[in-house]
Structure 1
Amino acid sequence: MKTTLILGATTNPSRYAYLAAERLTAGGHQIIPVGIKHGNVLGYEILHGKPDVPEVDTVTLYVGPRHQPEYYDWLLRVAPQRIIFNPGTENAELMRLAHDQGIEVVRGCTLVMLASGSY
């Protein structure tokens, strides 16, 4: 399976980012959790800031638009195949920047995509 970077990762099991990590790993996907929280998500350490990461297929966003600008350059350097803008994370500016770099832009819900087999 391909690697998914979860931007906005958390240790809180009631948050959608945590549920996505849970369902991704249950489906055999490798995850890279990145966020401001300290701790582990399902055995994966939450990385902070803008870490160097191995090849990433998908970024799934759980950071709202107002906190995304600080990650623009880093996300474009990570150069995923696609970025999933989960509900509440839609951001026309980042969508345009990603599209201009040849990154697929998906408005959707990672949890629904996983449940429906369209991930």
Structure 2
Amino acid sequence: MQNTGKTLVIGASTKEDRYSNQCVKLLREHNIETIALGNKAGIIEDVEVQTGRPAEANVQTVAIYLSAKNLESYEEYIINLKPERVLFPPGTENPAFYEKAKSCGIATEEACPLVMLKTGVY
């Protein structure tokens, strides 16, 4: 597993049963620097869930846990971060954003970060 940059989880929730929560925890278990953005501030393990759009550098991966409609307000933010890739777990598919990201040199994958981390292909 090769990851030198940070992962930004958008749609992070402090609710234990949410996949976004499990994703943040699993990223930290793999010692991946993690930034979490959500609707409500809080803490997941040692990661602060932020509610704004923090200026970040070296974001390698963005994991999306929002519907296409809810992602709209984050689209330009994501593009401006210039991540290498954006991951869309099942239920978050967003073909319109795939095209926008691709035109900016950002790879998109319909893939579950949880499965990727657990199988060593993250």
What range describes the TM-score normalised by the shorter chain of this pair? over 0.9
Long gaps (5+) in structure 2: none
Q: 2: CA distance between counterparts of 1:38 and 1:114?
A: 25
2:73 aligned to 70, 75, 93, which one?
70
Structure 2 distance, partners of 1:46, 1:17, is 11
Provide the residue aligned with 1:97 in structure 2: 100
5+ residue gaps, structure 1: none
| C-alpha deviation, 1:51, in angstroms | 1.8
TM normalised by structure 1 equals 0.95
1:24-103 map, 5 Å: 24-103=27-106
Q: Which runs of 4+ in 1 moved over 6 A?
A: none
Aligned length: 119
1:16-31 aligned at under 5 Å gives the runs 16-31=19-34
2:9 equivalent to 1:10: no
1:48 positional shift: 1.3
Equivalent residue, structure 2, for 1:114: 117
Structure 2: distance between partners of 1:65 and 1:38: 22
With normalisation by structure 2, the TM-score equals: 0.93
CA distance in 2, matches of 1:44, 1:117: 22
Question: Displacement, 1:49?
Answer: 2.6
